[in-house]
């Protein structure tokens, strides 16, 4: 009996065969390791075996043959499907690999272009240091070609004239380590090439070097520029030294005769002169002092401008500073009929930290100008401070006058170098073009400020504010000054003083000045004579010139100190025309105790004697005037 096919029976039969087909597909796909393709095969069965009609197309051909034929056909069909899927997978992977290969090739091409276009010389060597690839810059810089004509290895190629560096590079290649340094090689035209070289090893998984990458940067231009800059710097330093030596020599050569002019004039004014002679002598002294002020201004401005001036920070008595300024300027104020007075605020502490010499210089300049530009009235020098606690505060110094005043338009540039409020003042009162500029620079060096308020025809007030610092409790008291050690009649009487000076006029000036103070004076014309006199009689103090023939003051001082042994050291004070930055330090380093610059005056010498001669029982006498806190000292 022949089996009959129908829609109904065929449907159930198809469903069974479809299930079997799916099971076979799953088994085959899993066995072949294509579990990921199972979804694709299942979709094929759905599409061709069981379509929307339930039993058509492929199922017709599948169910028509006998079961044996069916399984054979099914197996072939399944294998074809699997091979097709596998081919699709392999094709996709080949496409991906090709894309990746093209991307890598493009990257390599770009890298090669970049290396060839690089301005720096780049090369690759084998493990022995023999170049196997170089870029055009390498060939252009060092003349090396890969045509076999050059058998040099890297160390000899890069450092042909430097055995030490060649050995270092050879060791780096042998040990597979990096190397960096600057070497000098030779170019194609045999000219020297300064180059920065970096050698980097390329190692395998075992850590052995297979290649080396060398990077060479031509720094010849930079080296030449640095050499040129060094030469220019040396020339500038030499010019600066020449300038400093010129200023030092000028200072010494001018101060030495000025000491004689001013000193002798001062001695002359101490003798019996008729009014006309006294007027002439006073004019000579005034002109000498004016010339000295100009010289000092030029030297100070040059030192500050060259940043060669320093300021001290030592405990000082501000009353002593103010009194010194008052005492120095009182004669000129009195001669003009001007009232010169001092005011010290009650809140000002007895001692502050500062530079006494620079404070005196500023106040002498400001107060001297005030007297110069005041025809009548008064000049007041004052000091006050705020917040005087442990944290310090602010110190304010000022000079007030009733002089000609300053136009408002001129105040802005008043503290600039070589500037005056009115050029006509030069003819009337003398030059003041550097003094205020120096005051401003000194104030700034001390961390302060300077300014002025003024009204034409009514006067001016110049002021300076400085950080106020108090000395620590452990600081040694300030060396006695004029305010601490008042001068008394007989203070210097009988004091034995040795003056070491080679200039005959300056010998006479120093001797007469000290004799007027009551001292006993011996003069030595040179270092050898000074050592002889010191061995013959005791002296209480020595005034030492620094520049002398045969043996200068520094050497004399060193020999004196060496011969003192355990004996008390005799005070040695430099009295020199050397006034440049560093001269004071040189004197102190040689063993001197203090430093006076020529021309010296009676007050400066007296103050030095008070500082360094010990007190002793004195005859009665009146102390010098001093300023009490909160009080005013009138001239």
- Alpha carbons 47 and 453: distance in angstroms, whole number: 107
**Which pLDDT does position 506 carry in this prediction?**
87
Which residue(s) pair with 180 in the sheet? Answer: 198
DSSP code of 153? -
- Alpha carbons 230 and 249: distance in angstroms, whole number: 28
| Residue tagged 């060669």 (tokens) | 308
Classify 119-218 by CATH class.
alpha beta
* Positive/negative CA dihedral, 520, 526, 531, 535: negative
Domain range list for the chain: 7-94, 119-218, 310-487
Q: Tokens for 371?
A: 């007297």
Angle ∠(390,394,400) on CA atoms, nearest 5: 145
Regions of the chain where pLDDT drops below 50? 1-9, 31-40, 47-59, 61-62, 423-432, 474, 476-489, 617-629
**Which pLDDT does position 630 carry in this prediction?**
54
Nearest alpha-carbon partner for 597 in 252, 234, 352, 222: 252
Cβ density class 10-32: b for 16+ within 10 Å, e for less: beebbeebbeebbebbeebbeee
Nearest alpha-carbon partner for 204 in 176, 171, 179, 170: 176
- Alpha carbons 122 and 109: distance in angstroms, whole number: 16
* Helix, strand, or coil (residue 208): coil
Q: Tokens for 346?
A: 């009650």
Nearest alpha-carbon partner for 554 in 600, 592, 528: 592
Output the pTM of the full model.
0.49
- Domain over 310-487 is classified CATH 3.30.565.10: yes
Q: Are 252 and 598 in contact (CB under 8 A)?
A: no
Q: 599 preceded by cis ω (within 30°)?
A: yes
- Alpha carbons 542 and 497: distance in angstroms, whole number: 6
Q: How far is CA 519 from CA 44, 389, 562, in A?
A: 133, 44, 27
Q: Tokens for 525?
A: 């014309």
- Alpha carbons 192 and 181: distance in angstroms, whole number: 16
User: Measured over all CA atoms, what is the biggest interatomic distance in the chain, rounded to whole angstroms?
Assistant: 178
């Amino acid at each position: 009996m022949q089996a009959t096919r129908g829609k109904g029976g065929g449907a159930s039969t198809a469903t069974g065969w479809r299930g079997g087909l799916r099971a076979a597909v799953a088994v085959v796909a899993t066995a072949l390791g294509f579990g990921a393709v199972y979804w694709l095969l299942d979709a094929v069965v759905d599409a061709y075996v069981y379509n929307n009609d339930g039993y058509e197309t492929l199922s017709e051909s599948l169910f028509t043959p006998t079961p044996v034929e069916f399984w054979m056909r099914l197996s072939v069909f399944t294998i074809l499907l699997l091979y097709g899927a596998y081919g699709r997978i392999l094709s996709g992977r080949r496409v991906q690999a090709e894309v990746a290969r093209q991307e890598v090739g493009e990257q390599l091409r770009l890298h090669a272009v970049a290396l060839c276009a690089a301005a720096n010389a780049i090369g690759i060597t084998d493990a022995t240091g023999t170049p196997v690839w170089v870029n055009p810059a390498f060939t252009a810089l060092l003349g090396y070609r890969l045509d076999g004509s050059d058998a040099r290895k890297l160390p000899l190629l890069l450092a042909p004239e430097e055995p030490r560096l060649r050995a270092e590079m050879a060791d780096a290649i042998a040990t597979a380590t990096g190397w960096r340094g600057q070497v000098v090689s030779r170019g194609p035209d045999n000219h020297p090439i300064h180059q920065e070289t970096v050698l980097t090893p390329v190692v395998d998984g075992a850590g052995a070097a297979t290649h080396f990458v060398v990077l060479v940067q031509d720094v010849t231009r930079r080296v030449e520029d640095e050499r040129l800059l060094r030469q220019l710097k040396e020339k500038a330093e030499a010019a600066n030294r020449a300038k400093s030596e010129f200023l030092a020599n000028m200072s010494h050569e001018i101060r030495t005769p000025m000491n004689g002019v001013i000193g002798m004039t001062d001695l002359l004014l101490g003798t019996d002169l008729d009014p006309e002679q006294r007027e002439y002598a006073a004019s000579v002294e005034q002109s000498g002092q004016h010339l000295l002020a100009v010289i000092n201004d030029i030297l100070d401005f040059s030192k500050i401008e060259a940043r060669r001036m320093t300021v001290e920070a030592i405990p000082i008595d501000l009353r002593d500073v103010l009194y010194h300024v008052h005492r120095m300027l009182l004669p000129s104020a009195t001669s003009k009929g001007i009232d010169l007075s001092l005011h010290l605020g009650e809140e000002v502490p007895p001692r502050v930290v500062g530079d006494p010499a620079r404070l005196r210089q500023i106040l002498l300049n400001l107060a001297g100008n005030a007297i110069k530009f005041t025809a009548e009235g008064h000049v007041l020098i004052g000091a006050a401070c705020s917040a005087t606690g442990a944290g310090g505060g602010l110190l304010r110094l000022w000079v007030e006058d009733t002089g000609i005043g300053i136009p408002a338009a001129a105040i802005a540039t008043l503290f600039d170098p070589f500037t005056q409020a009115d050029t006509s003042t030069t003819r009337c009162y003398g030059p003041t073009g550097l003094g205020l500029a120096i005051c401003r620079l000194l104030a700034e060096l001390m961390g302060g400020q300077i300014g002025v308020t003024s009204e034409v025809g009514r006067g001016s007030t110049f002021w300076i504010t400085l950080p106020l610092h108090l000395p620590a409790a452990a600081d040694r008291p300030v060396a006695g000054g004029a305010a601490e050690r008042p001068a008394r009649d007989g203070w210097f009487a009988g004091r034995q003083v040795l003056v070491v000076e080679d200039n005959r006029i300056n010998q006479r000036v120093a001797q007469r000045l000290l004799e007027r103070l009551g001292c006993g004076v011996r003069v030595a014309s040179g270092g050898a004579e000074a050592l002889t006199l010191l061995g013959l009689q005791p002296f209480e103090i020595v005034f030492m010139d620094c520049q002398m023939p045969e043996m200068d003051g520094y050497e004399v001082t060193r020999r004196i100190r060496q011969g003192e042994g355990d004996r008390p050291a005799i005070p040695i004070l430099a009295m020199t025309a050397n006034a440049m930055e560093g001269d004071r330090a040189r004197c102190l380093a040689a063993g001197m105790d203090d430093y006076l610059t020529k021309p010296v005056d009676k007050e400066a010498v007296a103050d030095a004697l008070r500082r360094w001669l010990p007190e002793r029982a004195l005859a009665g006498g009146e102390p010098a005037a001093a300023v009490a806190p909160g009080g005013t000292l009138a001239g």
